[in-house]
Structure 1
Amino acid sequence: MSIDGAAADDMTYVQKACAYITRGERELLAFEGPGHDGLQIPKGTIEAGETPREAVFREVAEESGLGALADTRHLATDVWRRRPARRYVRHFFHATVHDPRDRWTHTVTGSGEEVGAEFEFSWVDLPADEEFALALDDYVHLL
């Protein structure tokens, strides 16, 4: 039995791809999404047969509508706990984009549970003053 009450063999590990997308030197793309308090970044579950890098491109397109990312590089991978028997293996990437919009709403595409949800995107000045939902700001300092 582990410290948090879940047996090691009962543990579920979910692979996630997370995208820090910047515009210029000091702006980070973020959105307010339903179901979570605080800002988020594009992220999602890595599908079977998909690499974390492939997943980050797919998730960004599905959640934000952005399709042209530049200079995409891996920043960090961690294991994050949200529930006792579930761990999230989070792969964080940094990419840059040249998009003139300051704000937009995108309806999520793809096949996940968020399909049809509307996310309100805007740029947050770095360093970000407020905390992000789900500890998604853990590696902002690496930008």
Structure 2
Amino acid sequence: MTQRPVLKACACLVDERGRLLVFHHPEDRSMQLPKGTIEPGEAPEDAVRRELLEESGIDYSGELLPLGTIDRYCEAGVEGNKHRHPQLWHLFLMRAQAVLPETFDHVAIGSPEEDGLVFSFSWLTAEAPLENFAAPYVRVINRVRETLRG
């Protein structure tokens, strides 16, 4: 029997300089993008706004540019997951509506695995290396970079 993928929404928020908002995850000890599970009955567009708010504190009401999807097979023990499973990530490019700090911390809310964790945010430049990101995030970042280059 084929396992249905867990649907995820990934926020690709860029500033006026084309830098991408990323954060350090204290438990996974890696760099990530704001992302989370799409709840039953929730549209991906609503989920991506909710996930950005829960993980960064940014309440985004601007335009969403869909960047398509990526498939990921998630191993047990990765990003708080207890079981191996397929995922389907819905990617959205978002353009910052206000000037945000160069770096900031936010206490995550909304998910039992991440409630209370402090995420440390910063901006990733177009030429920054990606060795601190897991493979699916590298795929997303490269798609954002290609889109911004046009």
- Dislocated runs of 4+, deviation >4 Å: none
Q: Tell me, in whole angstroms, the C-alpha distance in 1 between the residues paired with 2:135 and 2:106.
A: 21
State which drifts further: 53-62 or 122-131: 122-131
14, 23, 38: which is aligned to 2:15?
23
Q: Tell me, in whole angstroms, the C-alpha distance in 1 between the residues paired with 2:61 and 2:94.
A: 6
Displacement after TM superposition at 1:57 (Å): 0.2
**1:61 aligned to 2:61?**
no
Displacement after TM superposition at 1:80 (Å): 1.1
Contact preservation (8 Å) 2:25, 2:120? yes
With normalisation by structure 1, the TM-score equals 0.84
Structure 1 unaligned spans of 5+: 1-8
Displacement after TM superposition at 1:87 (Å): 0.5
Letter in 1 for 2:130: E
Q: Tell me, in whole angstroms, the C-alpha distance in 2 between the residues paired with 1:122 and 1:80.
A: 25
Q: Tell me, in whole angstroms, the C-alpha distance in 2 between the residues paired with 1:11 and 1:136.
A: 22
User: Compared with structure 1, are the counterparts of its residues 27 and 76 closer, same or farther at alpha carbon in structure 2 (3 Å cutoff)?
Assistant: same
Q: Tell me, in whole angstroms, the C-alpha distance in 2 between the residues paired with 1:10 and 1:100.
A: 43
Structure 2 unaligned spans of 5+: 77-83
Residue aligning to 1:86: 85
Which aligned pairs between 1:43-62 and structure 2 lie closer than 5 A? 43-62=35-54
Q: How big is each residue's C-alpha offset from its partner over 1:94-122, in whole Å with a ceiling of 9 and x where there is no partner?
A: 00112331111100111331011000001
Aligned residues with identical type, % of pairs: 35
Q: How big is each residue's C-alpha offset from its partner over 1:54-98, in whole Å with a ceiling of 9 and x where there is no partner?
A: 100000000000003423111011221123951100101000112
More strand by share: 1
What is the RMSD computed on CA atoms of the aligned residues?
A: 1.9
Q: What SS does the aligned partner of 1:127 have?
A: coil
Greater CA radius of gyration, 1 or 2?
1
Letter in 2 for 1:11: Q
